[in-house]
Every structure is written in C-alpha cells, then in structure tokens.
Chain A
Amino acid sequence: MTREPDPKYETLLQELLLGERNLDSPEVQEMLSSSESCRDLYAELRELQGDLEASGSETRSEIDQAVRDTVPADRDRVAQVFHQQSSAQTRTASTPPRRSGGHLPWALAAGFLVLAGFWFVGRDDAPSQAFLGSGSIEGLAPVGEVSDYETFRWRGETLASGYYELRIRDLQDRSRTAKSVTPLLEPEWTPTSEERAALPPAIEWEILWYDASRELVSSDRKSARRSP
C-alpha cells in the first residue's frame, strides 16, 4: 500500500497525471526524486490509467463486434420485450384512479363498448386484428407435460393480413432454434410425424404475430415436455 503523498505535491501530481506537466520538468523531477510516496502513487495511478484505457478499448471493440454480430432474431427479441414493456406502461398510465361511487355511467359505457365490439367483429369486413382486441396473443397448446407435440395452437384467428411465426427451441439450450415455421396464417400448426420426432424432449415455443408491414404486434412463449 502506498503512503499518502505530501499535500504540497498534490497539485503537481494532478497536473502530471492530466498531461499538463511533462515528466522531465524540473518541478516534477524534484518531486519524484524527493518523495517516495509521490513516486509510488504516480506509478500506481499511471498503471490504473493504462488499465482504464485497455478497459475502454475492450468495451468499444465489444460493442462494435456486437453490432456486427446482431442477427434478425435478436432484433425480434428486443422488439418483443420493448413493445411489451411499452404496452404495459401505457396500460398503467391510462388506468383511471379508483373512485368510490359513480360506477353506473362507467358500467353503461363498458356494456355499450362490449356490444359494439361484438357487432364490429361479427361484420365480414372487420379486420382480423379486431378479434385479438387488446393486441395480445396467447399460446394455448402444447403446454406442460404432453404425450406428444400434436398441434401447436394459439389464441387468434385466420389472418387476412400479416402472419404468424412459430419458433421452437430446445428448453435445455434456448439459444438453439429447433424449428421455425413462417409465414403461418392459421392460429395453429401441426408437425408431420418426422418433424415431431425431430423435436427435443422439452421445448420452449414462441408464437410471434406480425402485421402486414412486418412489425411485431405481439408474441407469447410457452414451454412443454413429452412425458417419458
């Protein structure tokens, strides 16, 4: 451990480390030759500056490399999380404060909206997304322990625009996508017997719903495993 330097040299030491003084200036030479603690501290702080430079260089190269190594699936994943968080934030922000009494007008308005929703969805020209209402998607099957992966199903309807993408990963190694199926228009997909056999014993499956402009609307993940 280095002793604290003589206070009279603090300013000089600071200037030296900031590059405002040269090592060969007479004042610096006098300080380094007369004060062992200053000499040791200067050496330690210079080494630390070198470590910081190396750490900064490593960070920059890591970021540059990451930008180059980014794959489309990474973008989808980031989009999924950020859009989910954004929706949750919006829902929280728009939730009205609880008030006592005066519920009747709200109940009437809600009832009217529900009826209007049924009427709207029932129309032939209603856009498919109206079925999903809140803009969320939900995986239905397979979930948990199953005898085999028969049909993958999710809450949704046949899409007139946009598409679904189903990604199946090995639950033991989620970085490995075992199967990816896209574009799907129906809210289900049934693997062939060969495809079923090729799937890992335990899986995490993710269903992603994209609109016509290929923007991620919603997604959900579920896991399942074959019973032994």
Chain B
Amino acid sequence: MIQKSTTAETADLAARDLALVKQVLAGEPACVDRLVERLQCVPAMIRARNRRWGQALRPDEVEDLIQDCLVVLWKKLGTFAGLSPLEHWAHRICSLEMMNALRARDRHSAAGTEVVESVPEPCQEELVATDRHRVGEGLQQLGPPAEDIIRLKHFEHLTFDEIARRTGTAVNTAKSHYYRGLRRLRQVLQGLAPEEAA
C-alpha cells in the first residue's frame, strides 16, 4: 500500500518493484501474487478517474476498460523501469487507455454506428480535470527522458540530485532535460509542433 513516504522510501519501493517485475517476467509464479497485491487497486483507480471525469464512460464501458487495462499492464510489464512505484506506473498507463477508450467511443458515435445518450455539460470541476488531463496527455507526447524527469520532479517531488541518481544521468543533464522538456510541453499544449527531440 502506498503511504505518505519520504523520497528515499519511494526510491526503495520503486527499486523493489523493479526486482519484483523481473521475477514475474522470469516466470516465478509466487511473484504473480505479490504483483496482484500491488496492483489490486487498478479497478478502483479507473473507477475514480471515471468519476472525476463526470462518469464519461458507462458502467459496462468501465468494466471493459478495467479488463483491457489489466491485460495491457501485464503485457507492458517489460517496460517498467523502476523510476516510480508500480501504482504510479499503472496509473499512467490506465489514464492513457482511458483516453484511448474515450476517443474510440467518440469516433464510433461520430460514425453514427451507435446512439449515445446526450452528455451533460461539464461542471467547473470537470473543466479543471480536463485541463490537468491535457497536461498529462502533453507529457506523454514528450516521451523519455523529458517526460520521466518532469514527472519525477512534479509528481514525486524529487530534487535534481535524486532525479539524476534515479535515472542514472548527470545532474546538469537532468536539469537541461527538464528545462527543455518544459518548453516543449508548453508548445505541445499550445498545439504547436514540438522542437527537436531533447
């Protein structure tokens, strides 16, 4: 369970998570149960995100999304780099999958293949959630290393020394990636073509 913890504890947890994932990928069955313990919060995570989004998905769509996300998480285990705890990694993937599900549903309804009930106008809280969602979407477009470094800075509150240790880069390189990533993110969010890759 994720508790309020120091960055050192979080780093330790992320490192232990990476070891766990490697054991799971090596086919150690007992480790699958430990992975289940860590990621059993995924269904609640998706339900919470849907609530925050003003029930954008119907209950049956949420159930399908949960199923899809669990399969995707399993298939993407090999991409887990141990930069943040497993729950954070899963949250990022589930958010992306939810975004894709909403887009697919919109495309489906735009093509006139399904009658979709009218969606109520979003309230102020939902509009704020949409803005934050755009930030997350923009971050995903950045890709590593800028995305990882910005997330470690603002989502995990790491110092640049800690980020450098966690990502195995020099402190100045981490700072440079952060600054350039921030500028690219601003452009991405403005709908401009990003500058050359950092």
Chains A and B form a bound pair: yes
Q: Which residues of A contact B (CB under 8 A)?
A: 1, 14, 17-18, 44-45, 48-49, 51-56, 58-60, 62-67, 69-71, 74-75, 77-79, 81-83, 85-86, 89-90, 93, 171-176, 215
Closest 5 CB pairs between A and B?
Answer: A56-B155, A66-B45, A52-B154, A66-B44, A81-B70
Q: A48-B185, A62-B48 are in contact. Are A93 and B27 (CB under 8 A)?
A: yes
The 8 Å CB contact of B39, one of A56, A78, A93, is A78
In the assembled complex, which residues on chain B have CB atoms less than 8 Å from the CB atom of A18? 160, 175, 178-179
| B87 with A17: CB separation less than 8 A | no
Assess whether B136 is interfacial by the CB under 8 Å rule.
yes
Q: Which residue of A lies closest to B195 (CB)?
A: A4
In the assembled complex, which residues on chain B have CB atoms less than 8 Å from the CB atom of A86? 24, 27, 29, 32, 74
Q: A66-B48, A82-B32 are in contact. Are A174 and B88 (CB under 8 A)?
A: no
- A84 to nearest B CB, angstroms? 9
| A45 with B135: CB separation less than 8 A | no
| B43 with A70: CB separation less than 8 A | yes
CA distance A176 to B59 in the complex (A): 9
In the assembled complex, which residues on chain B have CB atoms less than 8 Å from the CB atom of A51? 131-132, 135
In the assembled complex, which residues on chain A have CB atoms less than 8 Å from the CB atom of B66? 77
| B60 with A174: CB separation less than 8 A | yes
Assess whether B52 is interfacial by the CB under 8 Å rule.
yes
Q: A66-B44, A70-B41 are in contact. Are A59 and B155 (CB under 8 A)?
A: yes
Q: A60-B155, A82-B70, A174-B60 are in contact. Are A75 and B44 (CB under 8 A)?
A: no
Q: Which residue of B lies closest to A47 (CB)?
A: B186
A-B contact pairs, 19 of them (CB 8 A): A1-B192, A14-B176, A18-B160, A18-B179, A45-B186, A48-B185, A51-B132, A52-B153, A56-B154, A56-B157, A67-B2, A70-B40, A70-B44, A81-B70, A81-B74, A82-B36, A93-B27, A175-B62, A175-B63
In the assembled complex, which residues on chain A have CB atoms less than 8 Å from the CB atom of B87? 63, 66-67
**How many inter-chain residue pairs (CB < 8 Å) link A and B?**
140
Q: Which residues of B contact A (CB under 8 A)?
A: 1-2, 24, 27, 29, 32-33, 35-37, 39-45, 47-49, 52, 59-60, 62-63, 66-67, 70-71, 74-75, 87-88, 91, 129, 131-132, 135-136, 150-151, 153-157, 160, 175-176, 178-179, 182-183, 185-186, 189-190, 192
| B27 with A69: CB separation less than 8 A | no
- A170 to nearest B CB, angstroms? 9
Q: Which residue of B lies closest to A74 (CB)?
A: B43
CA distance A111 to B160 in the complex (A): 63
- A54 to nearest B CB, angstroms? 6
- B158 to nearest A CB, angstroms? 11
Other than the known A56-B151, A56-B157, A69-B44, what 20 A-B pairs have Cβ atoms closer than 8 Å?
Answer: A1-B190, A45-B182, A48-B189, A49-B154, A51-B135, A53-B154, A58-B52, A58-B129, A62-B49, A63-B2, A63-B87, A63-B91, A66-B48, A78-B36, A78-B42, A78-B70, A81-B74, A86-B24, A93-B27, A175-B63
Q: A62-B52, A90-B27 are in contact. Are A81 and B71 (CB under 8 A)?
A: yes
- B83 to nearest A CB, angstroms? 14
In the assembled complex, which residues on chain B have CB atoms less than 8 Å from the CB atom of A74? 40-44
In the assembled complex, which residues on chain A have CB atoms less than 8 Å from the CB atom of B157? 56
- A31 to nearest B CB, angstroms? 15
CA distance A74 to B44 in the complex (A): 8
CA distance A67 to B42 in the complex (A): 8
| A173 with B59: CB separation less than 8 A | yes
Q: A17-B182, A62-B48 are in contact. Are A67 and B1 (CB under 8 A)?
A: yes
